[in-house]
Amino acid sequence: MHGDRVLFIDGEALVIDKPAGLPVDRPRNGSISLENHLESLKFGFKRWPTAVHRLDRDTSGCLLLSRNPKAHARFQQAFEAGLVEKRYLAVLNGLVEGEGMIDLPLAKVSTREEGWRIVADPAGKAARTAWRALRHEDGRTLVEFRPETGRTHQIRVHAATGLNAPVVGDLVYGAGEEGGMLLHAASLTVPRGDNKDPITAKAPVPDRFGAFRD
């Protein structure tokens, strides 16, 4: 992975701009994943960095990796405590106006025919996402999402079910339009305490967003 993908680096942390299409975890079929790039992300350290959280395969943007086990534990605690600020940008299929908070618990369901997916379920795990519509273009809306929890597929399901406007290109919860899924982790702020500056990173909006890049 080229150095221009590195958004932040110090002795504890590394934030990369993960490209869409690259899984964080190795797929069962053994195809290319983040693991294949870890050697090139050591930057003088002996150990490989370790992903602290996950982004879906087709989501691009800010991904935090730890550079030692003690830092990894502290960063995970920050995520679990809801102290990490995450800002996503997504293009939704439909016209969405205004702003608000989606408070919609989520659960995982699985069938032999369709595999697994995440659905809204009052008995599921709590999931909250703040959202704000930014602009419209050709029947689509650019929306800023700030998730307060970190459930699997949270933004994708909250867009499709909570706003009735799925993410463009979403193969599972939307129409799966060509050109890739238009969901991007645009910025990340991780507090560190101990009088240390927070980890902050911003990932440029990728080309696939087209007219919504501006």
The reported pLDDT for the residue numbered 1 is 67
- Tens digit of each residue's pLDDT (9 = 90 or more) over 196-208: 999 999 999 999 9
Of 4, 10, 25, 56, catalytic: 56
In this prediction, residue 57 carries a pLDDT of: 96
Assign 3-state DSSP to the chain and report helix, strand, coil percentages, each to 5. 20, 35, 45
Q: Which helix (H) or strand (E) holds 154?
A: helix 154-157
Supply the pLDDT for residue 53: 97
The pLDDT value recorded for residue 214 is: 76
Mean local confidence (pLDDT), 174-178? 92
Give residue-wise pLDDT tens across range 73-93: 999 999 999 999 999 999 999
pLDDT, residue 183, reads 98
Considering only residues 44 and 214, tell me which one the structure prediction assigns the higher pLDDT: 44
Model confidence over 18-65: pLDDT tens digits? 999 999 999 989 899 999 999 999 999 999 999 999 999 999 999 999
Q: Which segments of 112-196 are extended strands (E)?
A: 115-120, 128-137, 140-147, 183-190
C-alpha closest to that of 107 among 152, 53, 142: 152
Query: For residue range 127-161, what is the model confidence (pLDDT) as tens digits?
Result: 999 999 999 999 999 999 999 999 999 999 999 99
Asked if the model's pLDDT at residue 173 lies above 70, the reply is: yes
List CB contacts of 76: < 8 A, sequence separation 6 or more.
52
The domain 85-190 belongs to what CATH superfamily? Answer: Pseudouridine synthase (3.30.2350.10)
Sign (positive or negative) of CA dihedral 45, 49, 52, 57: positive
Architecture of domain 1-84: 2-Layer Sandwich (3.30)
Number of residues in the chain: 214
Summarised one tens digit per residue, pLDDT across range 106-122 is 999 998 887 899 999 99
45-63 as b/e, with b when 16 or more CB fall inside 10 Å? Answer: eeeebbbbbebbebbbbbb
Give pLDDT, residue 2: 67
Exposure pattern of 157-173 as b/e (b: 16+ CB <10 Å)?
bbbbbbbebbbbbbebb
In this chain, the answer to whether the domains covering 1-84 and 85-190 adopt an identical fold is yes
**What distances in angstroms separate CA 191 from CA 119, 120, 166, one per listed residue?**
31, 31, 31
Note if 56 is an active site residue.
Answer: yes
Phi, psi of 54 (to 5 degrees): -130, 145
Domain map of the chain by residue range?
Answer: 1-84, 85-190
